[in-house]
């Protein structure tokens, strides 16, 4: 992967036309690359640098396709919900309405967390509840 890691926790919000403002630190980690977004496992959204996407999901996508129902389901979940987005010059991108609704961020606060090879977009209250559950 690109050698850069997504680290830290950041508060942000959706602004007009469902645009999400990337925190400056994460914007620097992304650079000029496009992003791949897909739905995550705990009702959050995963974001990857486009150049890191294939390598990050390769282990899951290498599961036996025909004989492994969970592998097929995971391929479908990841692939059917993935899309490429561009950051504008101010570090914003348009959050698809379906993803905003899935993650519960259509209204209210948004928390972005670094997760190493990717970042995650959470509804702030849901993230706080999940973080407390982790201990």
In a domain, 60, yes or no: yes
In a domain, 4, yes or no: no
Identify the domain containing residue 54 by its residue range: 9-134
Nearest-angstrom CA–CA distance, 53 and 127: 23
- Nearest one of 111, 105, 121, 108 to 9, comparing CA atoms: 111
pLDDT tens-digit map of 70-80: 777 877 887 88
In a domain, 32, yes or no: yes
Lowest pLDDT segment from 19-28, 74-83, 99-108 = 74-83
In a domain, 36, yes or no: yes
Q: pLDDT band at 3, cuts 50/70/90?
A: low
- Token pair 């996407």 in the structure block, residue: 53
What's 40's domain CATH number? 3.40.1550.20
Number of domains, the chain? 1
Residues 5-13 have a mean pLDDT of 93
* For residue 40, pLDDT beyond 70: yes
pLDDT tens-digit map of 53-70: 888 876 766 666 666 787
In the chain, helix, strand, coil percent, each to 5? 40, 30, 35
């Amino acid at each position: 992967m690109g050698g850069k890691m997504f680290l830290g926790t950041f508060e942000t919000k959706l602004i007009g036309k469902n645009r999400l403002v990337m925190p400056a630190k994460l914007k620097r980690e992304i650079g000029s690359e496009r992003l791949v977004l897909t739905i995550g496992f705990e009702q959050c959204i995963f974001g990857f640098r486009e150049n890191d996407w294939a390598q990050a999901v390769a282990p899951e996508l290498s599961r036996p396709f025909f004989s492994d129902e969970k592998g097929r389901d995971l391929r479908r979940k990841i692939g059917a919900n993935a899309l490429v987005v561009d950051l504008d010059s101010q570090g914003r991108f348009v959050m698809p309405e379906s993803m905003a609704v899935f993650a519960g961020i259509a209204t209210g606060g948004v928390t972005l967390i670094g997760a190493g090879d990717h970042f995650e977009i959470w509804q702030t209250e849901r993230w706080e509840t999940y973080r407390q559950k982790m201990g």
